[in-house]
Amino acid sequence: MRPRGLAIVACIARQSASKLAPVGAIVYLMTETPVPAMFIDGTSMIVFLPLLLSGVWLFSRGRGAAGAVVLCLAALIRIEAFAVLLWLAVAEQLFKFRWRAFAFSTVVVTVSVAFTVLVYYRLQGSVARFNAGGPGAGYIYTHEHRGYIRLLGALKYPFWASAKMSFEECGSPYLALPALFGCALSRSRRFYLALLGIPLFLVVYVATGQGFGEVRYFQFLAPVIAALGAFGLAHAFDMGVRMHTHARVWLWLLVALVSLSCAIFATSKALSSLSLIFIAAGFGALSQKLAIAPFRARSAWALLFWFLLLRRLEHNDWQRPARLAPYTLDARDLVEHDRVPKGQRVMTEDDVIYGLLVHDANFFRELNALQYFNVQSDTRRAKILGSTDYIAVSKNDFLNYYLKWDPLGRGDSDPFRLAMQRAHKGAAVSLYGYRLLPIETSRRWTVLKVEPEPRAD
Q: How many Cβ atoms sit within 10 Å of the Cβ of residue 66?
A: 14
Q: Which helix (H) or strand (E) holds 231?
A: helix 221-242
Position 125 scores a pLDDT of 63
* Cα separations in angstroms, 131 against 79, 109, 252: 12, 19, 57
d(CA 288, CA 423): 79
pLDDT per position as a tens digit, 163-177: 999 999 988 788 899
Residue type, 415: P
Give the integer Cα–Cα distance in Å for 321 and 311: 19
Cβ atoms 104, 65 nearer than 8 A: yes
Higher-pLDDT residue of 278, 344: 344
Side-chain half-sphere exposure of 395, counting CA atoms within 13 A: 13
**Distance between CA atoms of 317 and 297, rounded to whole angstroms?**
30
For 398-444, what is each residue's pLDDT tens digit?
888 998 888 888 888 899 999 888 888 888 899 999 999 999 998 89
- What is the pLDDT confidence band of residue 94, given thresholds at 50, 70 and 90? very high
**Range 131-151 average pLDDT:** 68
Gyration radius of the chain's alpha carbons: 27
If we measure between CA atoms, which residue out of 183, 181, 138 comes closest to residue 350?
138
Closest CA to 238 of 276, 284, 178, 299: 284
**The predicted structure's pLDDT at residue 24:** 81
- 312, pLDDT greater than 70: no
Q: Which residues contact 193 (CB under 8 A, 6 or more apart)?
A: 87, 183
What is the sign, positive or negative, of the torsion defined by CA atoms of 255, 260, 261, 266?
positive
42-87 pLDDT, tens digit per residue, is 788 889 999 999 999 999 999 999 999 999 999 999 999 999 999 9
Max CA separation in the chain (angstroms):
105
Which contacts qualify for 214-217: CB closer than 8 Å, 24 or more apart? 214/161, 215/161, 215/164, 215/165, 215/169, 217/80, 217/161
What are the start-end ranges of the E strands in 117-178?
A: none
Q: What is the pTM assigned to this prediction?
A: 0.79
Q: What is the mean pLDDT of residues 222-226?
A: 94
The one-character DSSP state at 165 is I
Tally the residues of the chain: 457
